[in-house]
Structures are given as C-alpha cells and as structure tokens.
Amino acid sequence: MVIVFVIDNYGEFSNGTTISALRTKMELEARGHTVRVVSAGPVRGEEYYSLNRRFIPIVSWASRRQHMYFARPDKRILRRAFTNADIVHFFLPFRLSQQGVRIAKKMRIPVTAAFHTQPENITYGAGLGRLGRPIAWMLYQSFKNDFYRHVSRIHCPSTFLASELRRNGYSQSLHVISNGVGDMYRPSIKASEPSQSFTIVSIGRYAAEKNQETIISAVGRSKYRERIHLILAGFGPREKRLKKWAKKHRVRTTFRFFSQSELLEVLQTSDLYVHAAVAEIEGIACLEAIACGLVPIIAQSKKSAASQFALDEKSTFHARDASDLALRIDYWLTHDKARMDQSIAYQQSMEKYRISHSIDLFEEMLNQAVEDHQRSLLAQTKALKKVRKRITFPVYKRMLSFVFYYLIAFPLLWIYVTFLLGVRFRHRKYLRDIKGGAVLVSNHVHTLDSAMNGVAAFPKKPIFTGLKANFRLPLAGFLVNILGTVPVPETRSESRVFLNELTRHARSGRFVHFFPEGHLIPYDTELRPFKKGAFQVAEEADVPIVPIGIAFKEKTSIFPLLAKQKVVLSVGKPIYPDSFRLKREQIAYLQDASFGAMQSLIKLH
C-alpha cells in the first residue's frame, strides 16, 4: 500500500505528534508499505515532498517557542505526492490539511485523519487557563467545519479524546489507537543497588498545561524532600519560571531535554513517575514510564486522558493539589514492597499499548477507509441508489413519518401491545440512559415483536430491519411498514451499501434494530445462531449493543385479551465495544456477549 502522511512539521522530533508520525512510518515501512511524507520539516529523501514554511503574525512567533511551525500548501507538490497513492493520512487540521483533503477528494483517493491538536493545549499555551473554555469549544467547531467534516475516519489516541469529540458533535467513525510504546521501553535487567535517595521523574514541555509547578510544590512538602532528586525532562518557555519555583521550595531539580537513549536510562533508574498535566490527549510519556517499571502518580483532570492508566486511587491525585500529591509521593516512597508489586501489575497492563498492536489497529483503519471509499463509489451506481433510498428518505418523507409515528402509530401500538397482548417491559432504563446511537438485538419469536421493541425504545424511533417476507404478512406487514422497517437486501453488493447506511445512522445517534437470528419462529424458547450484520454495524459505528430478550409466561387470568400467554420483554445492559480489539475480534466479542446476555434474559422468566 502507498500511504501519504501530510504533517506540517515532520522532522522536528521534539513533540508527541511528530514522534508518533516517525514511529508509525518506520513500523509501516517494516511491514512492506511505502510511506510518503509531505511537510515543511528539515528532512530530505526519495519519498519526502518538501514545502515552504508559512508565516502567521503573532501565531508563528508563539508556535516557534514550542518548536512548532506551519507549512504553506502547494497544489503542485500535493498532487505529485498523491499520485498513485492508495490513501492519504492527515495529522493536523490546519491550512495544509484543509487544502490537501480537497485535492485528495478530487483525485478520488480515500483519506483518514488524526486528532493530535487538543484545543485546550492552545488555550493553556496562550495563558488563558480555565478562562479559555469558550475558545476551546470554538476551536473544536472550527476544526470540524474546516477540516474533519471531510474525513469519515479519525484516529484518536485515547478514549477520553473520542468522548470529547462526540461531546462536541463529531459524528465520524472514531478509532481509539494509542500512539504506542516501543519495545525498548522495558525495565532495566541490571539489579539496582539500594540507595538512600529517591529519583522522581516527569516528562513534558515546560508549558502551563503540564503543571510542573504542582510537582515541585509537592516534593517541597514531602517528608522525603531532602532525599528526593526531581528530574523534569523537557524544554519550553516556562523554564526560567520553573527554576525560580524550584529554588523557592528548596527542591533539587534537573531541567534538561534528554535524547531517547538518555531518557530511557533515566526512566529505568528512577523510583516514581509523576504526570501532573491538566490537558492531555493521551500521555505517551506516562505510558513509556510505566512500561519501564515505574509506578505513576497521575493528575485527575477533566481535560486529561492520562488518568485512565491508573490502576488504583493511590496512583492518582487531584489536579493542582500539591498537598494531595505529596501524600501519594510519601506513600509510595515509604512502602517499597507495595511499589514493587504494583510495578509488575502496571507492566502487564501496558502490553495492549505496545506499538505493534497500535500499528495493527492503524493498518485496519486504513483498510476500512479504502473499503468505505469503494462502497461509496458502489452506492453512486444507479442500481444501488435504490438501497440507500430505502433507508434514507427525503426531508419531507421524514417529517411525515415523524408526525404519523408519534401522533398516530405509537399511541395505537402502545395500547395494542400493552393491553391486548399484555406485554410487560423490564429495565427500559438501559435504553433511556443511552445518549447517542445504539444497535438493538432481540430474539424473533412473535409476529409483532417489532412493535414491542418499538414501544420499549420510546421516545426514540428505531430503524428496524426485516426480511422482505415480513412485509407480506396480513397485519404484521402493515405494522412493520408503519414502524419504518427497511427490508434486508439479498445480494452481497446491496448488503455492503445497506450496512454502510445503517452504520451512518447509528453513528449519528439513531437506534438500529436487528433480529440476528434472521427468520421468525413463533414462541421459540431456544436461541438460534446469530448472523453478524448487527455486530458489524455496532463495531463500525462504535456504539453499544443492547440485548433484548422476549419470553413467555403462563396466562393466569382473562388478561391479556388477545394472547394465549403473557409476554415479558427484558432489556439487558448495553455491551460496549472494546477499542483495543481488532475488527474481527471485536465483532466476535459483541456477538458472543450478546448471545450470552440474551440467553440469560430469556431464561430469567
């Protein structure tokens, strides 16, 4: 595969984005891919396409202090770099990527993008702190409108960032892929000699959001202050200020930017790692420290992802609270055995963050984007446009359907299934608690189980899928039409477009309902093997599966009037995808977990 990386400042390997790009490029090339790079960085080579730097008044001056600069787009160079490429991957949402994505679309080349620029980092860098929240929100919207709306798949380094994007209205497929920890980051095999002193290390730019002042203050309050050597590895505009702070608190501190080999040695010979950042997309430095055997102490901040790595509360502290951090430092330095035991647990927890697994997930994202592109071309053909129209109606039809469903159909269905069929609903709260989209799966055991599931999902109006034969049933056929059921296609090419459209709806917040058993067998008490379509949609859309079990009880009175047995519809707890699994593993996991959950719901009655 020929992959093009578009990144403003490749070659300036002093920040997480460019280091991530370098590692990913090397790993992909080791697997036989060709990776081209378009950038204004100081790198030259056969697959490197050089651009000039772009000057932005005030912004360029501030960004240079962070070793960050912007590239000036050149259409001729971009077209040359994109020629015969299989896919283009963008790292940053600025002018270069905005123009590059338009060119790639015109050349009919699939695209993906990464979200490496956290708006909170920009507002903290500007000295706004918490006052910058409205500006951060505007940046999220600006990035989305100017760039990310043109991309269907986004690489997010953490689940925290994915949730932030969802909260800010990003409806694309979000791939949670760690930037990855290299295999060199492991504990030293040399036996460490007992020492009367302790080394605490923290890695990060000397910037406001990294919050090194809190670390210095905490060490100054520690009962081990005289024995602690604090290493703040990095560089940045706040170095002089931090040095004054360390002097004021009488903390022995080393301020220095280390090479990779030097930093590895520091991590392997230190006693604790402290991560105090209040705004962080992932915290790869924290991961690398943990992989080297260090027990971390991580700030709990609403805008930082790093606290997800903590295994217990002793490894976290309240952000900006130096006293709380000092207590955690003193605990771990006092309890040597607990620290050693926890070190082993942390090393084991890091294996899923290894770069080899991250590249597996990254490759999969690229392949899925290529498949998306092929499906979109298929969907534009005359024969397959009909499939899309069965699922996505024009605006006027959607409005008519909405009015008819909520004012006429739903009240009648509710009365029918509740009083005449005697359906009892259990745990509907699980459906009401879901904020976005979801895939609902239930056993297919009654001619009106679509109506039952529609009532259970209220106030949302699900999209139902059903076999074409269901539309020919006397009463049920009329009801499935009212419910907005869409017929499952019968050819492979139609199915690809069909599932793609349902995925898009689930991702945008709709409930999509499947009968994974396929055919209806009335009053069947045994689950049949599930088909994969529902679970593929849930995996692609990154939404939960909600299992629903329909069971039958003995009728003990005249009620219900029109049924021989009482019906109990039980909603199970949502089953969320695990972002660290590959697609095939993910689908199998969701399928097996849903089958087990549905069996339990049915046998409960």
Which residue ranges of the chain lie beneath pLDDT 70? Answer: 13-14, 58-67, 125-130, 189-195, 378-398, 466-485, 487, 489-494, 555-564, 604-605
The enclosing domain of 549 has a CATH number of 3.40.1130.10
Beta bridge partners of 295: 272
Quote the CA–CA distance of 126 and 120 in Å, as a whole number: 10
Residues 209, 127 share a domain: no
Angle, CA of 54, 57 and 62, to the nearest 5°: 90
The number of folded domains in the chain is 3
Residues 417, 323 share a domain: no
Mention every residue, 6+ apart, whose C-beta is less than 8 A from residue 230: 200, 201, 202, 215, 216, 219, 246, 251, 252, 253, 254
Query: Over the stretch 543-586, which tens digit does the pLDDT of each residue have?
Result: 999 999 999 887 665 566 666 678 899 999 999 998 888 899 99
Angle, CA of 504, 510 and 512, to the nearest 5°: 85
In a domain, 584, yes or no: yes
In a domain, 525, yes or no: yes
One-letter amino acid at 222 equals: S
Residues 154, 72 share a domain: yes
Give the number of other CB atoms < 10 A from CB of residue 250.
Answer: 11
Mention every residue, 6+ apart, whose C-beta is less than 8 A from residue 59: 70
Place of tokens 């949402």: 93
In a domain, 188, yes or no: no
Q: What is the DSSP letter of 483?
A: T
In a domain, 186, yes or no: no
Is-contact 499 535, C-beta < 8 A? Answer: no
Residues 338, 411 share a domain: no
For the chain, the distance separating the N- and C-terminal CA atoms, rounded to the nearest angstrom, is 53
**Helix (H/G/I), strand (E/B), else coil: 554:** strand
Is-contact 523 445, C-beta < 8 A? Answer: yes
Is-contact 365 114, C-beta < 8 A? Answer: no
Residues 216, 130 share a domain: no
**Helix (H/G/I), strand (E/B), else coil: 419:** helix
Residues 337, 368 share a domain: no
User: If 0-12 CB within 10 Å is exposed, 13-18 middle and 19+ buried, where does residue 516 land?
Assistant: buried
Quote the CA–CA distance of 166 and 144 in Å, as a whole number: 11
Quote the CA–CA distance of 472 and 447 in Å, as a whole number: 12
Domain endpoint, select from 329, 345, 373: 373
Domain endpoint, select from 324, 341, 373: 373
Residues 417, 369 share a domain: no
The enclosing domain of 127 has a CATH number of 3.40.50.2000
Beta bridge partners of 2: 34
Go through the chain and tell me how many residues it has: 605
Residues 334, 213 share a domain: yes
In a domain, 448, yes or no: yes
Quote the CA–CA distance of 538 and 173 in Å, as a whole number: 11
User: pLDDT value at position 193?
Assistant: 59
Is-contact 317 299, C-beta < 8 A? Answer: yes
Quote the CA–CA distance of 460 and 339 in Å, as a whole number: 49
Element (H, E) at 79: helix 75-82
Angle, CA of 119, 121 and 125, to the nearest 5°: 120
Q: What is the DSSP letter of 407?
A: I
Q: How far is CA 51 from the centre of its chain?
A: 31
Quote the CA–CA distance of 126 and 24 in Å, as a whole number: 30
Is-contact 43 37, C-beta < 8 A? Answer: yes
Residues 481, 362 share a domain: no
In a domain, 262, yes or no: yes
Domain endpoint, select from 315, 344, 373: 373
Residues 522, 556 share a domain: yes
Query: Over the stretch 285-317, which tens digit does the pLDDT of each residue have?
Result: 999 999 999 999 999 998 888 888 999 999 999
In a domain, 527, yes or no: yes
Is-contact 42 71, C-beta < 8 A? Answer: no
Residues 467, 582 share a domain: yes
The domain in which residue 260 lies consists of 198-353
Residues 332, 410 share a domain: no
Give the number of other CB atoms < 10 A from CB of residue 390.
Answer: 15
In a domain, 249, yes or no: yes
Is-contact 307 277, C-beta < 8 A? Answer: no
